[in-house]
Structure formats: C-alpha cells, structure tokens
Amino acid sequence: MEIKLPTNSYVFKNLIPCPKRYFIEDIDHQIASGNLCPNVPKYQTYNALYSIMKQKPHWQSLYSAITDKILKINPAANTLHSCWANVSREDTVFGDHAHETDITAVYYLHNKIDVFGTKLNQSIIIPGIENSVLIFNAKTVHSVVNIPKEMYNITGPRYSIVFDFICK
C-alpha cells in the first residue's frame, strides 16, 4: 500500500548500513545519565544530541546521509539547528506539535511495528520503517504515533532520532 505524502514531505528507506545497537546504546546512556528534556513527554533527550555524539563514526554517517537528502530537497536548509532522540515506552504520550525551524527529519532507528511512525496534519500516518527517514516542513503539525500500553509487550520501545534544520 502506497501512502500519499503531504506536499514537501519525503521518505527515504535503507538510509545507512550501521548497526542500530550503537545508537541505542548511546541514547540509553544519555537517558540513564539524565540527559532528558524536562518540559516534554518522556523520554526525549535534550536537543544537543548530535553535538554530543558527532565524534562517533556512526553518528557522522547518519548526519551525512540525512544532510545529503535534505540538501537535494532544499539547498538552503544547510544549518543544523537541533537534534534529539525520542524513545517511546509504555508510559510515553507524545502530542501534536510543530517546530519553529524549517525542516524536520525523523530517522526511525528501532520500531518493530511500523504503524507507530509519525502522524502528519493530525490525520496522515507515515509508517516508521526502521532505517528510514521522513523529511517534512517543520511547521507541519505532527506527532509520534503512541504505542498503546496493551501492545508494548509486543512492540518494545520505539527509538527515533530527530534533526531540525533552518534555511540560511
């Protein structure tokens, strides 16, 4: 089944070859170290995650792959504004929101059931396929598709990494 994407939204699959366990270990370490943003749903790291991780080759590979796709879509979106990880667990509830930046890229790191992707415009669910990235206008109302508590034993946690860019 093909999903019709909203205008100026893109999905790229099979983004990088790196094993996801390195990213999961890094994100879990950040969460265990208290690098959690207090004013948003749990479990979201602070938005300087790439700055903290940029010396690691797997993070460099991910950032390079995402910026390559973004610059082909919009060459003016050449400035990384922020980066963070979201981990959806059985007690996580993300709500609809929009960003003040220009472009958002959501990288689906770990997601056993891809229906738990991203909801755009309060109605279109973009599947969260592991090792894919969804790129869209950051001002679009969107949300993580929350995992119902009764399904968490099947799905386990969902890990995504978000990069926000501004146009210069």
Q: What is the predicted pLDDT for the residue at 38?
A: 81
Residues present in the chain in total: 168
Q: What is the predicted pLDDT for the residue at 3?
A: 63
Q: What is the predicted pLDDT for the residue at 42?
A: 80
Domains present along the chain, CATH in parentheses: 10-166 (2.60.120.620)
Q: What is the predicted pLDDT for the residue at 22?
A: 96
| Banded pLDDT at 4 (limits 50, 70, 90) | low
What would the pLDDT profile of 74-114 be if each residue is shown by its tens digit?
999 999 999 999 999 988 888 999 999 999 999 999 999 99
pTM of the model: 0.94
pLDDT for residue 163 is more than 80: yes
Question: Distance between CA atoms of 50 and 71, rounded to whole angstroms?
Answer: 18
